[in-house]
Amino acid sequence: MKIELDSVGKRYKTEWIIRGLSLEVAPGQRYAITGPNGSGKSTLMKMLSGFLSPSKGQVSFSLDGRQLGVHEVYRHLSFAAPYIELIEELTLTEAIRFHRQFKATKPGMDDEAIYQLLGFRKARSKQVRNFSSGMKQRLRLALALVTESPLLLLDEPTTNLDEEGIGWYRGLIARFGTGRTLVIASNAAVDFDFCEHKVYIPDYKQ
Ligand SMILES: Nc1ncnc2c1ncn2[C@@H]1O[C@H](COP(=O)(O)OP(=O)(O)OP(=O)(O)O)[C@@H](O)[C@H]1O
């Protein structure tokens, strides 16, 4: 997936959050989006997913040389973020199967393989509402990473993860993160220190 941002600006009411951002997000490359709380990292992630449109400038998407309409983009991406809600009423088994109805998973990643990956096989009949916050975050990340999608967007990926969970996240990236375009919004180096490119949001305020 390639994403081109041409002089992009985003404004909420009268406040400009991002201004003058031109960037090419190239296929197979890894990008870190950094900046203080409230600087606009999540806002940029939402524009990179096609969920938010810019107030100024252009965001365009292409896949294998074919231009994608903004309404097609969601089919080709996985997005894990604390503000993307899981369906709390579903059990783990149901949540995985529900996800699979919309998105293909990588070869060999059947239900059993995903339970093993998550490391909480005994929770398969537990409702997501009864998961701990770390378990919910692992589920968000696992579903995003095992999905067959050329664009992977991870906003604050290690939120609610303990040290072991952070190691687990890095293992997931090593196993499933290669060969796809990866964008990570975070201020924790451990989340993104393997990224080749960095975008610091306060550089795009004027
Ligand atoms: N829908 C909205 N309407 C108005 N203002 C908004 C909206 N969404 C975000 N903002 C504002 O835009 C600014 C950037 O928010 P954003 O969530 O993108 O920052 P962030 O860098 O991801 O922050 P954090 O590190 O705290 O998650 C904030 O001032 C926020 O209040």
Nearest-CA neighbor of 175 among 113, 104, 96?
113
Structural domain 2-204, CATH architecture: 3-Layer(aba) Sandwich (3.40)
170-191 exposure pattern, b = at least 16 Cβ within 10 A, e = fewer: bebbeebbeebbbbbbbeeeeb
CA-nearest residue, atom 5 of ligand 1: 12
> Tens digit of pLDDT for each residue in 187-202?
999 999 999 999 999 9
Whole-number Å distance, alpha carbon 62 to ligand 1 midpoint, is 27
pTM for the model stands at 0.96
Residue boundaries of the structural domains of the chain: 2-204
pLDDT in the model for residue 122:
85
Tokens of 14: 């009268």
- What lies within 8 Å, CB to CB, of 206 at 6+ separation is 19, 20
pLDDT in the model for residue 206:
76
Pocket test for ligand 1, best of 42, 183, 204 (most atoms within 8 A of CB): 42
Interface predicted TM-score (ipTM) over 0.95 = yes
Nearest-CA neighbor of 135 among 149, 154, 122, 151?
122
